[in-house]
């Protein structure tokens, strides 16, 4: 009788220990971020509510204010928003290994799903019905890319004074075939130079 | 083939490094490098990839890098398994710059995030990213995606109709992108 009791006590103690240790273990990091990667469709900003629930409310890895700060930095950095956030949080919890594991978690579900689809789609590309379906989808894709342009113009604070920047950028890429990479480099340098030498 | 892998790596590394403004703005870079410069895939294939990236889970940047990595190799006449390696290389390359930058920032630069020079640079970048997005949409408005009014008027006008349907459904009625793509797919199946 006493044996059983001490045993259950031991088990309880063990599970408690593993609970506190596993709350920020590499495996938990991986699971959390692969969950975030798997359950957000549409990418990027659609992920914010889920990231908030998982990372702030459930795991308490960062506070709400910290997450807002991280998002501001991740947004102004190049790269994929969700990946940037996961690197920040992974690094904060477990340094470089944590960053590697959380990035892997965010990317792996999409990677495997897309590979499966690519393999499948490649085989049925020539199929007449698949072709018809995608012929219908293509104009919609163009519309889905065109629709957020105006909303983005609002968040980027486009006024009639800086409107020439997006217009010139779009025309240079569209009509002259300038690589968007050069446009970004020039715009960043231009903004910096303007702030440094012209503004004051 | 080694050259193709090296180019894939370098191209997606650059896209990851200069890809400000998230997935959609990145699409414009993928267009610029992968289609206009190297011709690894056609504009039509690219549009299909965007459709699939939008309607499957995960960040659009990752989805499209994975897909482009695979298709580039297969289009060049290589076997499927070489395509898998291409996917891995493109995805790894697009994430690598973020990885290096974010760790450097976490280590050293967090305190500079309110520095005026950062805000000044962003003042040039933000409007340009809007231009990138507009260019991505404009480049996709071609005969491969909409057909041409002279040759196939029926297909052309149906495509224009689907474009406006999707635009209004998204912008005014905030319909989910997946539902829009599914409805347009059904319309394509019935009308074309």
Instruction: Answer yes or no: do A77 and B178 touch at CB < 8 A.
Output: no
Nearest CA-CA partner of A139 in B1, B187, B57, B117: B187
Residue B44: pLDDT over 60: yes
Instruction: Answer yes or no: do A137 and B32 touch at CB < 8 A.
Output: no
A175 burial (CB, 10 Å; 0-12 / 13-18 / 19+) is exposed
> Mean pLDDT over all residues of chain B?
90
Write the pLDDT tens digit of every residue in B31-41.
989 998 999 99
Instruction: Answer yes or no: do B51 and A134 touch at CB < 8 A.
Output: yes
Residue B188: pLDDT over 80: yes
ipTM of the complex: 0.84
What integer pLDDT is reported at residue B41 of this predicted model?
A: 92
pLDDT tens over chain A, length 200 residues: 445 545 555 444 444 444 444 577 899 999 999 988 887 766 666 677 788 888 998 999 998 888 888 887 887 789 988 899 999 999 999 999 999 999 999 999 999 999 999 988 888 878 899 889 989 999 998 998 888 888 888 878 888 988 999 999 999 999 998 888 899 889 999 999 998 888 76
Residue B167: pLDDT over 60: yes
- Taking contacts as CB-CB distances below 8 angstroms, the residues of chain B near A199 are 120
> Which tops the pLDDT comparison, B9 or A199?
B9
Q: Does A146 touch chain B (CB under 8 A)?
A: yes
Write the pLDDT tens digit of every residue in B130-149.
898 899 889 889 888 898 88
What integer pLDDT is reported at residue B16 of this predicted model?
A: 94
What secondary structure does DSSP assign to chain A, as a single string?
-HHHHHHHHHHHHHHHHHHHHHTT-HHHHHHHHHHHHHS-BS-GGGGHHHHIIIIIIIS-SS-HHHHHHHHHHHHHSSS-HHHHHHHHHHHHHHHHHHHHHHHHHHHHHHHHHHHHHHHHHHHHTT-HHHHHHHHHHHHHHHHHHHTHHHHHHHHTT--TTTTHHHHHHHHHHHTT---HHHHHHHHHHHHHHIIIII--
Picking from B18, B57, B177, the nearest residue to A78 by CB comes out as B18
Q: Does B63 touch chain A (CB under 8 A)?
A: yes
Nearest C-alpha of chain A: how many angstroms from B149? Answer: 14
Q: Does A45 touch chain B (CB under 8 A)?
A: yes
Residue B87: pLDDT over 90: yes
pLDDT band at B111 (very low <50, low <70, confident <90, very high): confident
Q: What is the mean pLDDT of residues B151-178?
A: 91
Does the pTM surpass 0.90? The reply is: no
Picking from B22, B57, B177, the nearest residue to A109 by CB comes out as B57
Considering chain B, what percentage of its residues have pLDDT values greater than 70?
Answer: 99
Q: Does A44 touch chain B (CB under 8 A)?
A: yes
């Amino acid at each position: 009788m006493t044996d059983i009791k001490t045993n259950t006590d031991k088990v309880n103690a063990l599970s408690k220990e593993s609970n506190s240790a596993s709350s920020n273990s590499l495996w938990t990091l991986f699971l959390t971020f692969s969950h975030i990667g798997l359950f957000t469709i549409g990418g990027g900003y659609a992920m914010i509510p889920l990231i908030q629930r998982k990372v702030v409310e459930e795991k308490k890895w960062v506070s709400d204010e910290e997450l807002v700060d991280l998002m501001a930095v991740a947004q102004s950095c190049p790269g994929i928003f969700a990946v940037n956030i996961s690197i920040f949080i992974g690094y904060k919890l477990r340094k470089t290994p944590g960053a590697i594991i959380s990035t892997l978690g965010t990317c792996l579900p999409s990677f495997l799903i897309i590979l499966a689809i690519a393999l499948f789609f490649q085989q049925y590309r020539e199929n007449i019905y698949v072709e018809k379906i995608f012929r219908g989808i293509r104009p919609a894709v163009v519309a889905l890319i065109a629709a957020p342009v105006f909303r983005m113009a609002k968040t980027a604070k486009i006024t009639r004074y800086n409107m020439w920047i997006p217009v010139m950028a779009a025309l240079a890429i569209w009509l002259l075939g300038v690589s968007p990479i050069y446009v970004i480099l020039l715009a960043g340098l231009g903004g910096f130079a303007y702030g440094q030498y012209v503004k004051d | 083939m080694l050259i193709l892998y090296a180019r894939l790596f370098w191209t997606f590394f650059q896209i990851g490094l200069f890809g400000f403004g998230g997935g959609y703005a990145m699409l414009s870079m993928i267009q610029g490098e992968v289609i206009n410069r190297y011709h690894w895939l056609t504009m039509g294939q690219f549009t299909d990839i965007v459709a699939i990236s939008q309607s499957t889970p995960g960040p659009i940047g990752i989805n499209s890098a994975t897909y482009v990595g695979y298709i580039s190799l297969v289009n060049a006449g290589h076997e499927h398994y070489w395509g898998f390696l291409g996917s891995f290389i493109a995805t790894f390359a697009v994430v690598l710059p973020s990885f290096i930058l974010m760790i450097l920032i976490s280590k050293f630069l967090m305190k500079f995030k309110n520095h005026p020079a950062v805000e000044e640079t962003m003042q040039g970048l933000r409007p340009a990213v809007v231009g990138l997005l507009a260019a991505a949409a404009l480049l996709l408005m071609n005969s491969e995606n909409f057909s041409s009014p002279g040759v196939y008027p029926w297909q052309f006008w149906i495509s224009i109709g689907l474009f406006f349907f999707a635009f209004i459904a998204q912008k005014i009625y905030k319909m989910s992108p997946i539902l829009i793509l599914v409805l347009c797919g059904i319309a394509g199946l019935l009308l074309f």
